[in-house]
């Protein structure tokens, strides 16, 4: 008999009973998350992103339909998009 692993992909949480300060902090976090996600999407949509893995070169260029998608983004991309998260 094998043991299976259950992966929980999402959970539901309520903020109904939180105080005003916690709600404010939560909403500030969501606002910042959206801002940063939009910076990344704008960069990836408008610019060519090139990376190398094991001497193979991959290109993500949406305009030219080169749709290699990286598993992770290099931390150097933060300098390119002028990421200044507070």
Task: Please report, for residues 48, 52, 58, the alpha-carbon distance to residue 55 in angstroms, rounded to integers and kept in the order given.
Answer: 19, 6, 10
CA distance 66 to 58: 9
Return the domain boundaries, the chain.
20-80
- pLDDT tens figures, 1-59: 567 788 878 888 888 888 999 999 999 999 999 998 898 888 888 888 888 888 888 88
Predicted TM-score of the model (pTM): 0.65
Q: Which of 17 and 80 is assigned the larger pLDDT?
A: 17
CA distance 47 to 27: 30
**pLDDT in the model for residue 1:** 54
């Amino acid at each position: 008999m094998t043991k299976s692993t259950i992966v929980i992909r999402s959970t539901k949480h309520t903020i109904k009973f939180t105080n005003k300060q916690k709600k404010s902090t939560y909403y500030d976090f969501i606002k910042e998350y959206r801002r940063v996600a939009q910076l990344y999407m704008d960069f990836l949509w408008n610019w060519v992103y090139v990376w190398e893995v094991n001497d193979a070169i991959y290109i993500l260029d949406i305009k030219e339909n080169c749709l290699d998608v990286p598993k992770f983004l290099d931390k150097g991309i933060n300098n390119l998009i002028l990421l200044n998260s507070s």
